[in-house]
Structure formats: C-alpha cells, structure tokens
C-alpha cells in the first residue's frame, strides 16, 4: 500500500538524511547531555535534550554519533521521538522499538541500544545538573 511504502521511505531516509545533527551548549542549565559508548564496537553517541524548566517537556534534541550507519539512524529516530515529550516518558523508550522502526537486523541491535542509553543518560545529566544548582527537577514539582 501507499502508506507502507511511505513509511519505509521515511525510515530509509534516516540513513541518508539524519535529523537533528548538532550540539547544544553543555553548560546550559536547561540542557542534558548523554554520552555513551558501545563496548561491542567502540562507537560513541552524544545525545542532548533541551528541557522546559517549568513543565519538564523536552523542547529540542540533537545528536552527534561517531559510529556506524545504524547508530546514526537510531540517534536520528531517538531525537525525533523525544521532542515534545515529557522527560519521565522518554526514559521508557526501548531500543527494540527503535530497531523495529528502522528494521535493523539482530546483529545491529546494539547500535539501537546506544540510542536508548543516550536518552536515559541525557535525562540523568539534566536532573543531576539541576540538583547541583539546588533547583528541583520539574518532574518532582
Ligand atoms: Fe522518522 Fe519514524 S520515520 S521517526
Ligand atoms: Fe557499533 Fe553500530 S556497529 S554502534
């Protein structure tokens, strides 16, 4: 069907035109940075979120990945999925959902694992930063 075709074209597009490649200022208190590595291959992913201090909503996201095409595509999907959602919701995004979305073969599962880990690490970093500044995280309000 047309729908199925469009869907697959969009997934393939994450390989050719990754979304949200870039960096935010790490020292910005509204930014959370997740930096993770894959022990299996040594690839590294940095995923950053920008959070609305009042609502806890992720207003923007970006990534830089030094790794294989599947890791880059997984980061791209991850940034698309976290934008506009609550911090406490995105930590439940599973790598298997990302892998399914991109039709990754089993041998590439660890590439999508990087994206799941990076999302969690970014949220953790944001919360740790807020705690250090003595500001309660929006999710606690
Ligand atoms: Fe882009 Fe689904 S095709 S996130
Ligand atoms: Fe390691 Fe893809 S081969 S992240």
Quick: pLDDT tens for 80-124: 999 999 999 999 999 999 999 999 999 999 999 999 999 999 999
Respond yes or no: is residue 41 known to be catalytic: yes
Q: 141 pLDDT exceeds 50?
A: no
**Spatial contact of 34 and 48, defined as CB atoms under 8 Å apart:** yes
Asked, for residue 50, whether it belongs to a domain, the answer is yes
For position 11, which CATH number holds? Answer: 3.90.1010.10
Please work out whether the CB of residue 100 comes within 6 Å of at least one atom of ligand 1.
no
- Number of domains, the chain: 1
Q: Which residue has the higher pLDDT, 57 or 1?
A: 57
Q: Which atom of ligand 1 is nearest to the CA of 11?
A: 3
Q: 39 pLDDT exceeds 50?
A: yes
Respond yes or no: is residue 68 known to be catalytic: no
Atom 1 in ligand 2: which residue has the minimum CA distance? 41
Asked, for residue 120, whether it belongs to a domain, the answer is yes
Asked, for residue 37, whether it belongs to a domain, the answer is yes
Rounded average pLDDT over 26-47: 94
Which residues constitute the domain of residue 72? 2-133
Asked, for residue 11, whether it belongs to a domain, the answer is yes
Asked, for residue 140, whether it belongs to a domain, the answer is no
Q: Cα–Cα distance between 37 and 129 in angstroms, integer?
A: 21
């Amino acid at each position: 069907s047309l729908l199925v075709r469009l869907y697959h074209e969009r997934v393939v597009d994450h390989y050719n035109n990754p979304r949200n490649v870039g960096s935010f200022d790490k020292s910005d208190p509204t930014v959370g940075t997740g930096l993770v590595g894959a022990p299996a291959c040594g690839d590294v992913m940095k995923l950053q979120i920008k959070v609305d201090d009042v609502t806890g909503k992720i207003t923007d996201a970006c990534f830089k990945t030094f790794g294989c095409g599947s890791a880059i595509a997984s980061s791209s999907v991850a940034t698309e999925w976290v934008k506009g959602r609550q911090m406490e919701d995105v930590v439940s995004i599973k790598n298997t959902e990302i892998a399914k979305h991109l039709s990754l073969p089993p041998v590439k599962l660890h590439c999508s694992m990087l994206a799941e880990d990076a999302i969690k690490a970014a949220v953790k970093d944001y919360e740790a930063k807020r705690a250090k500044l003595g500001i309660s995280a929006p999710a606690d309000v």
